[in-house]
Amino acid sequence: MFEALKPHVLEVLRDSALSVTDRLQEVCNLLKNEIPAYDWVGFYFRNGDLEELKLGPYAGDPTDHTVIPFGKGICGQVALSNQNFVVPDVAAQDNYIACSIHVKAEIVVPIFVQGVNIGQLDIDSHTPDPFSDKDERFLEFVCEEVAHIL
Ligand code: SME
């Protein structure tokens, strides 16, 4: 599934007829529609020089969490750690910001531009413990390709 999706991701990201924002939106739509366990797919980006993340394009239910301070929740922790964060069971996390009662698991992968963590790709799942190394490698691929157009 992931290998088959990669060419589609590249096609969307290289579509110069679309704005960068529209390309990121299309990537969210693609991942949410094609990967059964991905119920919410969105980008958060550092808000200028502020120590906070701001919601970018996303696919799935609207969230109240459009701004997340560094350090808060899974996303805010990834802004500081520069590491992937895989959460098989969100109920087991103390520092977690709930977006929906349906969410059981989450994965957040940072995006680096010239070595700087400028944002992240965040996936929520309604399925418990759905993410494997394959998800991490695929999402790292997506984030590296996204970094090329930012
Ligand atoms: N659950 C995230 C907040 C963002 S929503 O999942 C869209 C967190 O704990 O950082």
In tens, the pLDDT along 55-109 reads 999 999 999 999 999 999 999 999 999 999 999 999 999 999 998 999 999 999 9
Structural tokens at position 77: 């922790």
pLDDT of amino acid 86? 98
Q: Is the beta carbon of 63 within 6 A of some atom in ligand 1?
A: yes
Q: Is the beta carbon of 65 within 6 A of some atom in ligand 1?
A: yes
pLDDT of amino acid 99? 87
Give the total number of structural domains in the chain: 1
**DSSP 8-state code for residue 91:** G
pTM exceeds cut of 0.95: yes
123, 128, 147: which is closest to 2 by C-alpha? 123
pLDDT of amino acid 28? 98
Q: Is the beta carbon of 106 within 6 A of some atom in ligand 1?
A: yes
CATH of the domain at 104: 3.30.450.40
Q: Show the domain range for 62.
A: 2-147
Q: Is 70 helix (H, G, I), strand (E, B) or coil?
A: coil
Give the residue, out of 63, 65, 107, 125, with the most ligand 1 atoms within 8 A of its beta carbon, to mutate for a pocket test: 65
> Whose CA is closest to atom 6 on ligand 1?
99
67, 31, 37, 66: which is closest to 139 by C-alpha? 31
Calculate how far, in angstroms, residue 99's C-alpha sits from the geometric centre of ligand 1.
6
User: Which ligand 1 atom is the nearest neighbour of the CA of 124?
Assistant: 6
111: burial class by Cβ within 10 Å (0-12, 13-18, 19+)? buried
Structural tokens at position 58: 């996303």
Give the span between the Cα atoms of 98 and 110, in whole angstroms.
20
Q: Tell me the chain's radius of gyration from C-alpha atoms.
A: 14
